[in-house]
Structure 1
Amino acid sequence: MYAKSNPSDARANNRRLLFQLLFPGRQLSRADLCKETGLSRATATDVTGEMIDDGLLRELGSGPRDGRGKPGILLAIDTNALRLVCVDLSRPYVMTGAVMDLRARIVERRERVLDDGDRVDLDDVLSLVGQMVQLAGPGLAGIGVAVPGVISGSGTVISSAHLGWSDVELRDLLEEEFSLPSCVNNDANATLLADRFLGHGSSSCLLVQIARGVGASVLLNDEFVAGDDHAAGEIGHVVIDSDGPICACGKRGCLETYVSAVALRDRIRKDPHHRTETLTEAGTRLGNALAMPTSLLNLRDIVVYGPPDVAGETLLDACRETVNALSRNDYQSGGIRVRRCELGDDAALRGQAISVLHEIVGRR
């Protein structure tokens, strides 16, 4: 049975829809918003007025005249009234916190070096969030944390091997500690969200994240694929060669043993003269691994996020050639594009800000 929607659901969806049309930097009149959404003028006026009162939108003044009528007042996202706090726990040896505006731009940032490499103490996370809350000031609207691992829909970290966490109810802890709407996401999902709205992404896309391990995230028609156990995208320990090297998980030939940044840098360090061959092989193996899911889901956009010394054109070219050779069909128009995410080290932070925005725009 489907749950019945109610007027508050429709209002929240309308707010999110209008905010998304203006995010990150568009300027549209209420008439423009009506044309793009099909909402009535009365509904658009009511909802945008409410969002202006909440500090989400602002009026800019008259736009260009369209026809013989009076020019409309342009609306844009208000970048002055409210702030967000986001923390990224996905990078080795460092936690990064940021105060951000409603266009997911960093206003203030702080970093804390991790004494134990990857291991993160929960109290240290809460301390960093508290520091950023103080920097944000009275206009703080919400908090977000990007975590490597399996995250439930309720913001519980089910498992994060890199952080040494299991069953940590992080969202509840944040909301109890700071009394603000909070959002906890997988770091690959956050990065894909940033690529979708701030980069060159499409509404249906597969992101591969090459870091300490190998993870993935899938967006279908602007909806994330979570899976029954919230573990969709955990592809690093899928065996691609049963006779391959021993993986940290105990199996042989996991994708991670061939494609992770750690594995590739180690191989290149040991044999620097064959760097191109090493990266080409990694790209070919990645393309082999991705051919099935891209065909299964009819995806034409793959984005790779990772350090440029390994996730560069050599690896991407080999991946692109392989995945197209293995998955091309006569009914497909054009090929599958394989491209690099170009948002830098702050991609997860900025994507997490977008997640928080989705929550607060619908709540306020």
Structure 2
Amino acid sequence: MNAPRAASKADPSDIRVINRLLMFDLLFPQNRMSRAELGRQTGLSRVAASEAASDMLDKAILRESGTDEREGRGKRGRLLTIDPDVWRIVSIDLSQPYVMRGALVNLQGHIVHRMELPLEAANTVSLDDVIDTIRELIDRASDHVLGIGISIPGVVTTEGRVMLSANLGWKNLELRDLIEGEFGVHTRVCNDANTALLAERFLGDGSPDSLFIQITSGIGAAVLVDDKIVYGIGHAAGEIGHVVVEPNGPECPCGKRGCLETLISAPVLHAKLINEPDQRQEILTHAGELLGTALSMPTSLLDLSDVAIYGPADIVGETFLSAAEQTVNRLTSSQFHTPTRVRRCEQGDDIVLLGQAVAVMQARVGRL
């Protein structure tokens, strides 16, 4: 799960973290391997692989699950798998209008308990409500909480400060510090598109180099290069919604005209489809072509060939996806660039909750 590379002169504790993550990555979410096979695939020595495995067994990160059934002589090795029964991640999704969603997620990426808090207005959620929801989930998890994860629509630093969430009305909020101070539990606060991309990558069909597009009330994006999220110098990478695709198009609240968000966000397209039901094919084709145009630059610049799109099923269907894929490949055609696949993501409505859990695992499994 994106284990860091070892430095030439690494601290022994850092090496142990790397070894754990290398092995956890191979087993996640539900693979089974022997210690010997884990050593071969990670390149670790027998001693290092055995030490890492024993350490994770002791901490209930892994458990034994049967024996190696390969043919041949010799003693059968015990198979290891990730233990789903002990540790829990508290995952909070603040990206949905009219509801705050929370869940307990196990180490195999399965939701074992969920809860929802209806909101009076589309994006009004109080910190007290967030804290109360986390407290209730922690109480259900007993003493085995690996960490807390909160997904936010907006610009979030890697240190967990919400620089700006226009949807929630939050600015310069030290949310990670606030939650850690309240509960004494490691906390990660992330942008919702970034966490959704992690779910698609590690629990779906995503690749180590991919682009995720989120079509909801706005247009968000996230980029993964070499299995690492691209954040940008101002923590605002992925703001594709305000790329101008029609210079004479509708005015955007940001001050420009013809931003992608003003043309293909879910509310805009739903309004067009209601007003012109006979033009459904044309509306969705044109929307896909606009997205394909916006995608042509990042996919060509970063040599990306995997684009996953999350959005309402009545929008993100074959017509829309085909138009986007054809357009991006027409605009980026090159003998050096692999044709881009534009597809619907696979994780459904739990994508943000699951991706936030993955983000917590990445931060905590190696250091438990």
- How far the C-alpha of 1:66 sits from its partner, in A, is 4.6
Aligned partners of 2:303 and 2:337 also within 8 Å: no
Q: 1:49-85 CA deviation, whole Å, 9 max, x = no partner?
A: 1111111000113211353221111000001111111
Matches within 5 A, 1:1-364: 5-333=10-338, 335-364=339-368
Q: CA deviation at 1:111?
A: 0.3
User: Which whole-Å deviations, capped at 9, do the CAs of 1:178-226 have from their partners, x for residues lacking one?
Assistant: 1111111111111111111111100000001101100100001101111
Letter paired with 1:38? G
How far apart are residue 248 of structure 1 and its match? 2.2
Matches of 1:235 and 1:173 in 2, distance apart? 30
Q: Which residue identity does 1:179 align to in structure 2?
A: G
Q: Percent identity?
A: 50
Can you give the 5+ residue segments of structure 1 that lack an aligned partner in the other structure?
none
Secondary structure of 1:177 counterpart? helix
Please state whether the residue corresponding to 2:307 is helix, strand or coil.
strand
Quick check: 228-237 or 113-122, which moved more? 113-122
Cα offsets for 1:142-184 (capped at 9, x unmatched): 1111111111010111111111111111111111111111111
Using the size of structure 1 for normalisation, the TM-score is: 0.97
Cα separation, 1, equivalents of 2:268 and 2:125? 23
Contact 1:120–1:164 (Cα < 8 Å) also in 2:
no
The answer as to whether partners of 1:304 and 1:341 remain within 8 angstroms in 2 is yes
SS of residue matched to 2:220: strand
More displaced 10-residue stretch of structure 1: 115-124 or 342-351 = 115-124
The Cα of 1:10 is off from its aligned counterpart by: 1.5
Stretches of structure 2 that go unaligned for 5 or more consecutive residues are 1-6
Give 2:3's aligned residue.
Answer: none
> Which range moves more in the overlay, 56-65 or 339-348?
56-65
Provide the rounded CA distance (Å) in 2 between the counterparts of 1:156 and 1:70: 52
Distance in 1 (alpha carbons) for counterparts of 2:92 and 2:278: 39
Letter in 1 for 2:350: D
Q: Runs of at least 4 residues of structure 1 off by over 4 A?
A: none
CA distance in 2, matches of 1:309, 1:265: 9
Counterpart residue identity of residue 21, structure 2: R
CA distance in 2 between counterparts of 1:351 and 1:67 reads 41
Displacement of 1:5 in angstroms is 3.2
AA of the residue aligned to 1:193: L
**One-letter identity of the residue aligned with 1:343:** Q
Report the 3-state secondary structure (helix = DSSP H, G, I; strand = E; otherwise coil) of the residue aligned with 1:361.
helix
Calculate the TM-score normalised by the size of structure 2.
0.96
Tell me, yes or no, if the aligned pair for 2:95 and 2:153 is still in contact at 8 Å: yes
The answer to whether the Cα contact below 8 Å between 2:90 and 2:102 also exists between their aligned partners in 1 is yes
